[in-house]
Structure 1
Amino acid sequence: MEIGIVGPGAIGLLFAFYLQKNGQDVTLYTRTVEQSERLEKCGITCVQNGIRETVFPHVSPLENINNGRHDYTFVAVKQYHLEDVIPYLQAKKRLVFLQNGMGHLHLLQQIQGASVAVGIVEHGAKKENVSIVHHTGVGSTKFGFIHGERKQFEPLFTAFSSNLFPVVVENDWKQTMINKLVVNACINPLTALFGIQNGELLTNPSFHKVMKQVFSEVMGVVGNIQCKEHWDRVCTVCENTAHNTSSMLTDIHNNRKTEIDAIVGYLIQEAKKQQKSVPTLSFLYHSIKGLER
């Protein structure tokens, strides 16, 4: 299959690596010519459990995306870049969006003339440089369909063919997105604010108490159904990724814009609609915005 991937961040590199490794015809699209030239020369190196492997997909600047006739196009840019990227995708017939948070759903629902899916990514991935990504945690990718039918995406479900990259189809994709949103909201902003690895939210009693407070407000917004199940999931992710640095903390360290709007900003907007007070989430939101450079 011919597959396009927009965005050479950690997730974009990870998807490009595993799809190319499995024999798919992958083209990775970058924002700049310089990125394309570097990746064309170096390829994509994935490091997993100390093993390094390199593949060489096609690479091209985003402005050339409509020169390729892709069976599927993955969009792996951060949520705040979507409005800039979507105009380049008008000719694409099958799109899969891989963003965190839920603030972008209204944009996806407005896309006309294409089958649109979301991929909820549960892998741990850390970008070392332009061409090297560390696969820090094996999870799964859960697919849900916004526009179009399952059968239009079925060829993708075997495209990875690796026990390190399992794929699941979710009938209730919106609930799956909420599950991940709860986890992201409870972990990412706190680790970014305190400058800690994920596991310290469990081992430090004070940080743990703050995380419970954040969780309580999040559940008040998304609904308290299956509250224990959500909390257990948050704690399990903290435990399984104890030595990981969250993407939000990495963004702060690298003086980049974070996804705080996509995650906590979305929850605050939902709370306003419900006329609910979320002072801890508001504090978190403005704290992270203050740390952004």
Structure 2
Amino acid sequence: MRVEVIGGGALGLLFAAAAAKGGAEVVLYTRTTEQANKIMDSGIQVNGPTEKEVWSIGSPAIIAAHAIDRFSEEKGQPRWIVLAVKQKHLDASLIARLQANVRAEDRLFCLQNGVGHIERLTEALPEVPVYAAVTTEGARRLDAAAVLHAGKGSTLFGRLAPAWPKPSAKQEQAEKMLVKALGLGGLSLAVSNEIEIAMYRKLLINAVINPLTALWKIENGALLEKEERIRFMRAVFDEIMTIYSAAGIEAPMTWWEELLSVCRATAHNRSSMLEDVSRGDRTEAAWISGGVVELANRSGKQAPVNQTLFYLIEGLNGWTSRI
């Protein structure tokens, strides 16, 4: 089995290393030549929570290349193409490259936060199976060729409706092979028939944690340290739940306790949005808080809290709003 990973961030490094450890042929496409060269020289090092849980894997199991200007020219071998870039990098240029290189027998495995990307990719690549993936794996890039696997989680992946109601035997076999390879590499994967619900659960959690930690410049666990913070979290949560109800999305109230549990379990983590804001980079607010606003608009509802959060985040570094 061949796995090609686009993106050399934390999840890209982790999934590429795990797939290679599990026996897959792996190509990792990086943004810079320097990162590709370092990985080809030293491989990818995966650090676990303790010193005993450190391992590395490199060439020939992993081939690293700069960008995706050249996809594999090998014909006839279907590939899992793992999109491990953020939504802000899933732009028209990248989609055009995918259109030029991805074949109907390949499969896209999408690890993006927020919403809207699966629909865009499905429209751009109507013949290619597009899988949404929702992961709770805790990963942080240490340098160009090393990743900290800080917390072992799990990954659900599946097709959004209206996908084919029943996958072919070949499709099911491909899914099983990916689950097996990444499982041997230390990652837990499962196919889900309710991936859309999992996506909206993650959107809600991200829409509460990411903008608030970025604005207050705190780690996830600090959200629970003050009553005022919890009250504002609840205001964001309640607005999203109202929007979900209007949109016909199943969202149990137990998600509030799950949100609090995520804050506790990731207490010392810095959200990706906080990291982006700290670096002066553009965030994924347009696809997280902005995604909630667009869902509200389509459902005939208003989302003043989430829209305000979106404007506050975009205004931090002077980005232009798309809402």
TM above 0.5, yes or no, is: yes
Q: Could you tell me which residue of structure 1 aligns to residue 98 of structure 2? A: 89
Give the stretch that moved more between structures: 260-269 or 23-32. 23-32
Q: In the alignment, what sits opposite 2:194?
A: 172
Deviations 1:62-117, CA, capped at 9 Å, x for gaps: 11114355521111111122232222223332111111111213212212221221
Shift, 1:163, TM fit: 8.6
Q: TM-score, normalised by structure 1?
A: 0.93
Partner amino acid for 1:165?
L
Where do 1:24-173 residues align within 5 Å? 24-51=24-51, 52-56=54-58, 57-61=62-66, 62-68=68-74, 69=77, 71-83=79-91, 84-90=93-99, 91-92=102-103, 93-110=106-123, 111-146=125-160, 147=163, 149=167, 151=172, 152-162=174-184, 164-173=186-195
Give the drift of 1:244.
Answer: 0.8
Which structure 2 residues correspond to residues 209-220 of structure 1 after superposition, within 5 A? Answer: 209-220=231-242
TM-score relative to the length of structure 2: 0.85
Instruction: Give the unaligned 5+ runs of structure 1.
Output: none
| Helix, strand or coil at the partner of 1:261 | coil
Where 1:95 maps in the other structure, the secondary structure is strand
State the match for 1:264 in structure 2.
289
C-alpha distance in 1 between matches for 2:144 and 2:26: 17
Please tell me whether the aligned partners of residues 73 and 96 of structure 1 are also in contact (alpha carbons under 8 angstroms).
Answer: yes
Superposed CA deviations along residues 95-146 of structure 1, whole A, max 9, x for unmatched, are 1111111121321221222122111111111112211211122111101124
Alignment-derived partner of residue 11 in structure 1: 11
- Root mean square deviation of aligned Cα: 1.9
Is the partner of 1:161 in helix, strand or coil?
Answer: helix
- Residue identity over aligned pairs, in percent, reads 34
Conserved 8 A contact 1:258-1:292: no
Q: Which runs of 4+ in 1 moved over 3 A?
A: 224-227
CA shift, 1:262, in A, is 1.1
Deviates more, 1:56-65 or 1:156-165: 156-165
2:308 corresponding residue in structure 1: 283
CA contact (8 A) 1:10 1:126 kept: yes
